[in-house]
Amino acid sequence: MPTVAEIQRSFQGAWALLLNRREGMQAFDVSVDGFFRSFGVVFLLAPLYAIAALAEVRLLQIDGAPVDGFPLTWFFVWKFVGLGVDWLALPIVLALLAKPLGLAARYVPFIVARNWTSPLAMSLSILPSVLFASGLIGQELAAILFLVVVMGVIRYQYQVVRIALQTTIAMSIAVVAFDLTLSLVLAELVNRLAVY
């Protein structure tokens, strides 16, 4: 597990990457140990994911899903299964493709940066749903905010790929698109397997 000092330093690096500052990469431990410790960030993501799942339950109820008898425990189990699968999918697939794509030399720094920037990206991405589910904003404003946030998060992911992998614009766009598509496919698969 990462230490408190490593968490603070890495979050500073994640913020720097959000601001498109390349020196943010220096905040990450890209050693083999640092690579494996960065996967411990999933435990920092878990509370954010729980908040997102609660907001989703509230949205389902707003859309007319029955409140009584809703299998909340089962819903959360499958959501966290989805988080685990999604968390590991890209690193595994990219590890297999890194050498043929010429990305092997920068694979470890990229995965470390991707892991450490995930909490900031998730904090931004769940904001519209949480605000809407809590009744603080209406549906139209939530939809607009969601589009703005999604574009911002995708831009952030692009910056992380471009800086950490040091790839061309085309390759960076391809990696971001693949990551997004993989996440959407896995989320849909988990939702189909989960019978609420």
**Predicted local distance difference test score (pLDDT) of residue 148:** 95
**Predicted local distance difference test score (pLDDT) of residue 24:** 95
The model's pLDDT over 58-110, given as tens digits with 9 standing for 90+, comes to 777 766 656 566 677 777 888 888 889 999 999 999 999 999 999 999 999 99
For the chain, which residues make up each domain, given as ranges? 4-193
Nearest to 118 by CA among 142, 140, 91: 91
Nearest to 122 by CA among 18, 3, 9, 2: 18
Q: Residue 65, SS3?
A: coil
**Predicted local distance difference test score (pLDDT) of residue 137:** 85
At which residue do the structure tokens 């010429």 appear? 102
For the chain, which ranges sit under pLDDT 70? Answer: 62-70, 194-196
Whole-prediction pTM: 0.88
**Predicted local distance difference test score (pLDDT) of residue 74:** 79
